[in-house]
Amino acid sequence: MPSLQQITCVDDFQRLARRRVPRMFYDYVDSGSWTESTYRANHADLQALKFRQRVARNIEHRHLRSTLLGEDCAMPLALAPTGLTGMQCADGEILAARAAERFGVPFTLSTMSICSIEEVAAHTSRPFWFQLYVMRDREFIGRLIDRARKAGCSALMVTMDLQVLGQRHKDIKNGLSTPPRPTIANLLNLATKPAWCWQMLHTRRRVMGNIVGHAKGVSDMRSLAVWTAEQFDPALGWADLAWIKERWGGKIIVKGVMDAEDARLAVQAGADAIVVSNHGGRQLDGAPSTISALSPIVRAVGSQAEVWMDGGIRSGQDVLRALAMGARGVLVGRAFLYALGALGEAGVIRCLELIANELSVSMAFCGRTEVGQIDADVLLNAALYS
């Protein structure tokens, strides 16, 4: 097994995670919907943006520190909300949250997490963000918002693009359900992951901790399956966001926006920040990449709300590209999940170190020393997606 210092990029973590994490949970991360064209485009379109290299500039002292919604960050990046994080490795949400705290960036806990809000709060000292899926059971949603507030969460991230579920072929083929189907193929694959199995045997956190025991009638994995199948709300609208903001009483982040008009509506409904996101290519296959949708949304929102981006971010250079195209910050999901599945908490910290170092060095080559100096002038072909 390579040492942490021998791991030099997210691809290294991905290869190691593929060996260590059961296939159904690895594929859950490494997949998109239908043909996965949008999943692939997120990263490919970022790579199409080329840098304008500059020389003979004073780049001796470089700084990455920034703020996201007024919170000081070691760099303009947060860990995205990701479902089933605790199935990449035991207690995964707790480990990722601790890594983010140690490095100095925000962590976002998913509604569909294995570790509960209260468990993550008990193992961290820095306030984290909570991501909300709006279910039909508004009474449960109200209690969930109240729990996040009581746990000290500093912002609520409302995901708006999961009113219906995109078809993900790998999940269907792998039998990823609630509970997972014990097929012969899955059992044989589990037999090749002894370290993962050993970890899971030694934790009590194996179900969705924010839901089981909290939603009416949900007491185990099977009742959870019935409940979740009925709870996604196709009628979700902007009026619901206004109700959520009033109930929450704090900062609201709206995630899942891919259209300038929707961005304006989100601001009108009270969004303090917007995440340009296509759910990592896991919902509408054939939708544009997030980097290609970013600039029109930045122009539409102006200074009314912060605009962030996720999807395809695998390196510090990708962060630089997103900032150059107008994002105030980025969220990373798959990158930290590969690191978590590969080497746990230490892996996530190393992943963040790699991204930060690459961002700093790439800024230097482009003649920039502070995040606030990054603009479209660091790219040769910014007009490609403007």
* pLDDT band with cut points at 50, 70 and 90 for residue 354: very high
Catalytic residue from among 43, 63, 169, 279: 279
Q: Which tens digit of pLDDT belongs to each residue from 221-265?
A: 778 878 887 898 999 999 999 999 999 999 999 999 999 999 999
Q: Give the C-alpha separation, 93 to 129, whole Å.
A: 12
Residue 179: predicted pLDDT:
57
Q: Which tens digit of pLDDT belongs to each residue from 96-106?
A: 999 999 999 99
Average pLDDT, the chain: 95
Residue 178: predicted pLDDT:
60
Say if CB 248 and CB 149 are below 8 A apart.
yes
* pLDDT band with cut points at 50, 70 and 90 for residue 322: very high
Give 10-46+66-358's CATH code, choosing from 3.40.50.300, 3.90.1300.10, 3.20.20.70, 2.40.320.10.
Answer: 3.20.20.70
Residue 253: predicted pLDDT:
98
Q: Give the C-alpha separation, 100 to 350, whole Å.
A: 11
Whether 279 is catalytic is yes
Give the global pTM: 0.97
Query: What CA–CA distances, in Å, run from 277 to 105, 162, 165?
Result: 19, 12, 15
pLDDT at 347 over 60: yes
Q: Which residues pair with 113 in a beta bridge?
A: none
* pLDDT band with cut points at 50, 70 and 90 for residue 114: very high
* pLDDT band with cut points at 50, 70 and 90 for residue 4: confident
